[in-house]
């Protein structure tokens, strides 16, 4: 269990920091792109006015409760380019990883770089046993991110969720702390 303020994380090219309410307009712009909503389960389209503020205002209480670690992916010059977070289930020392990167910033390895830092936080300070992630199988770039993070694909849930008007096949990937330690060694 992690206590105190949510730490800022630094990687080679990125700074992962807690969101601030002033980030809301950029979140609405970036997450408001159809391409972001299309392959995520919970992001609506069009992105409702005011939804970003509400979403950001839930992060602090979630972190304090030990159930959420949501991070703004930013560049060292301060630009917000995406989001990454862990939804923690403390009873099982388990978390679900979720992320998006703004369309103009795709393909530069940012999701993977941010993901490595979040796995280190989860398996380190949060003392998690397992971190898992799910993605629509029609979204191979997300599958590739998880593969680059060293996650193992465990199976496919056929037509498991409804997105827009269609049911999606969803792949489940995960890393156990022992595997993560082994890969980091
Ligand atoms: C998925 C997403 C986060 C990836 O972000 P990113 O910063 O571009 O990811 P990275 O650059 O770290 O890695 C992407 C990898 O996917 C690969 N890729 C891209 N399109 C691909 C495709 N159609 N098929 C296979 N691989 C693909 C890239 O080549 C890269 O792999 P590489 O480094 O081996 O070349 C981003 O596309 C996104 O935000 N999508 C919309 C929201 C979303 O789907 N979130 C995830 C929900 S599970």
114 Cα to the center of ligand 1, angstroms? 13
Instruction: Give the C-alpha distances (Å, rounded to integers) separating 63 from 59, 118, 165.
Output: 6, 14, 33
> Stretch 105-133: mean pLDDT, rounded?
98
> Where does residue 158 rank: exposed (0-12), middle (13-18), buried (19+ CB within 10 A)?
exposed
Tell whether the model's pLDDT for residue 2 goes beyond 90. Answer: no
Residue 3: pLDDT band with limits 50, 70, 90:
confident
Instruction: Look at the pTM and tell me if it is higher than 0.95.
Output: yes
Among 24-28, 130-134, 181-185, the minimum mean pLDDT is found in 181-185
6-22 b/e (C-beta count within 10 Å ≥ 16 → b): beebebeebbbbbbeee
Residue 43 structural domain: 9-132
Write down the pLDDT at residue 1.
64
**Domains in the chain, number:** 1
1 Cα to the center of ligand 1, angstroms? 31
Q: What is the CATH number of the domain that holds 48?
A: 3.40.630.30
Element (H, E) at 143: helix 140-148
Residue 184: pLDDT band with limits 50, 70, 90:
low
Euclidean distance between CA atoms 49 and 38, whole angstroms: 18
Does 58 fall in a domain?
A: yes
3-state SS, residue 96: strand
Mutate to test the pocket of ligand 1, among 144, 150, 161, 172 (most ligand atoms within 8 A of CB): 144
Does 96 fall in a domain?
A: yes
Does 162 fall in a domain?
A: no
Q: Are 71 and 23 within 8 A, CB to CB?
A: no
Among 39-48, 61-70, 87-96, 175-184, the minimum mean pLDDT is found in 175-184
Write down the pLDDT at residue 164.
94
């Amino acid at each position: 269990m992690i206590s105190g303020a949510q730490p800022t994380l630094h990687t080679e090219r990125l700074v992962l920091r807690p969101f601030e309410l002033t980030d809301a307009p950029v979140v609405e712009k970036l997450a408001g792109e159809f391409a972001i909503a299309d392959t995520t389960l919970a992001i609506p389209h069009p992105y409702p006015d005011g939804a970003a503020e509400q979403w950001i205002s839930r992060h602090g209480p979630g972190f304090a409760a030990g159930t959420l670690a949501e991070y703004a992916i930013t560049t060292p010059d301060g630009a917000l380019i995406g989001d990454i977070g862990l939804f923690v289930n403390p009873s099982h020392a388990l978390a679900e990883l979720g992320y998006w990167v703004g369309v103009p910033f795709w393909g530069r390895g940012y999701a993977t770089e941010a993901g490595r830092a979040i796995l280190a936080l989860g398996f380190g300070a949060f003392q998690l046993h397992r971190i898992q992630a799910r993605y629509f199988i029609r979204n191979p770039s997300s599958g590739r991110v998880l593969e680059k993070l060293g996650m193992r694909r465990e199976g496919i849930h056929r037509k498991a969720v409804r997105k827009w008007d269609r049911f999606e096949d969803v792949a489940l990937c995960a890393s156990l702390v022992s595997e993560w330690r082994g890969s980091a060694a």
